[in-house]
A = this chain, B = another copy of it.
Amino acid sequence: MLLRMSTLFVRTLREDPADAEVASHRLLVRAGYIRRAAPGIYTWLPLGLRVLAKVERVVREEMDAIGAQEVHFPALLPKEPYEATGRWAEYGPNIFRLKDRKGADYLLAPTHEELFTLLVKDLYSSYKDLPLALYQIQTKYRDEARPRAGLIRGREFVMKDAYSFDVDDEGLARAYEAQRAAYQRIFRRLGLEFVIVAATSGAMGGSRSEEFLTPTAIGEDTFVRSAGGYAANVEAVTTPVPEPVDLSDAPAAHVEDTPDTPTIDSLVAHANAHQARADRPWTAADTLKNVVLALVHPTGERELVVVGLPGDREVDLKRLEAGVAPAEVEPAGDADFAAHPELVRGYLGPGAVGPNAPAGPDGERASVRYMLDPRVVPGTRWITGANEPGRHVFDLVAGRDFTADGTVEAAEVRAGDPAPDGSGPLELARGIEIGHIFQLGRKYAQALGLTVLDRNGKSVVVTMGSYGIGVTRVLAALAEAHHDERGLAWPAHVAPAHVHVVATGKDEAVFAAAEALATTLSARGVEVLYDDRPKVSPGVKFADAELLGVPLVVVVGRGLADGVVEVRPRAGGTAEQVSVHAAADRVAELVDGLLAG
Task: Tell me the complex Cα distance, A156–B76, Å.
Answer: 7
Task: Tell me the complex Cα distance, A115–B69, Å.
Answer: 34
Question: Which one of B52, B69, B98, B155 contacts A8 once the chains associate, using CB atoms below 8 Å?
Answer: B69
Minimum CB–CB distance for A134 against chain B, Å: 6
Interface residues of A in 33-82 (CB under 8 A from B): 35, 37-38, 41-46, 49, 52, 67, 69-78
Question: Chain A, 98-112, contact with B by CB distance < 8 Å: what is the 0/1 string?
Answer: 101100001010000
A387 contacts B by Cβ under 8 Å: no
Given known contacts A11-B124, A76-B156, A115-B37, A71 and B100 CB-to-CB distance under 8 angstroms: no
A93 contacts B by Cβ under 8 Å: yes
Task: Tell me the complex Cα distance, A52–B35, Å.
Answer: 28
A380 contacts B by Cβ under 8 Å: no
A143 contacts B by Cβ under 8 Å: yes
A96 contacts B by Cβ under 8 Å: yes
Q: Is the CB of A98 within 8 A of B97?
A: yes
Q: Is the CB of B72 within 8 A of A43?
A: yes
Residues of B within 8 A of A96 (CB): 76, 98, 100, 106
Residues of B within 8 A of A74 (CB): 37-38, 41-43, 156
Residues of B within 8 A of A9 (CB): 69, 71, 123, 132, 134
A145 contacts B by Cβ under 8 Å: yes
Residues of B within 8 A of A119 (CB): 35, 43
A139 contacts B by Cβ under 8 Å: yes
Nearest neighbor of A80 in chain B, beta-carbon distance: B38
Question: Which one of B44, B71, B143 contacts A101 once the chains associate, using CB atoms below 8 Å?
Answer: B143
**Copies of this polypeptide in the complex:** 2
Residues of B within 8 A of A49 (CB): 70-72
Residues of B within 8 A of A8 (CB): 69
A530 contacts B by Cβ under 8 Å: no
A141 contacts B by Cβ under 8 Å: yes
Interface residues of A in 81-134 (CB under 8 A from B): 93, 96-98, 100-101, 106, 108, 115, 119, 122-124, 132, 134
Question: Chain A, 17-37, contact with B by CB distance < 8 Å: what is the 0/1 string?
Answer: 000000000000000100101
Task: Tell me the complex Cα distance, A123–B10, Å.
Answer: 7
Given known contacts A100-B96, A119-B35, A145-B101, A45 and B71 CB-to-CB distance under 8 angstroms: yes
Among A35, A46, A52, A72, the most chain B Cβ lie within 10 Å of the Cβ of A72
Task: Tell me the complex Cα distance, A468–B7, Å.
Answer: 22
Task: Tell me the complex Cα distance, A43–B77, Å.
Answer: 10
Task: Tell me the complex Cα distance, A41–B7, Å.
Answer: 38
Question: Which one of B32, B42, B115, B155 contacts A43 once the chains associate, using CB atoms below 8 Å?
Answer: B115
Residues of B within 8 A of A38 (CB): 74, 76-78, 106
Interface residues of A in 191-207 (CB under 8 A from B): none
Q: Is the CB of B69 within 8 A of A46?
A: yes
The 13 sampled A-B contact pairs (Cβ below 8 Å) are A7-B67, A9-B132, A9-B134, A37-B115, A38-B74, A38-B106, A42-B74, A43-B119, A46-B69, A76-B108, A76-B141, A98-B98, A100-B155
Residue numbers of A with Cβ under 8 A of B are 7-11, 32, 35, 37-38, 41-46, 49, 52, 67, 69-78, 93, 96-98, 100-101, 106, 108, 115, 119, 122-124, 132, 134, 139, 141, 143, 145, 155-156
Given A98-B108, A101-B143: 16 more A-B contacts, CB < 8 Å: A10-B123, A11-B123, A35-B119, A35-B122, A37-B78, A38-B76, A38-B77, A38-B78, A38-B106, A44-B73, A49-B71, A74-B156, A76-B96, A76-B141, A76-B155, A93-B101
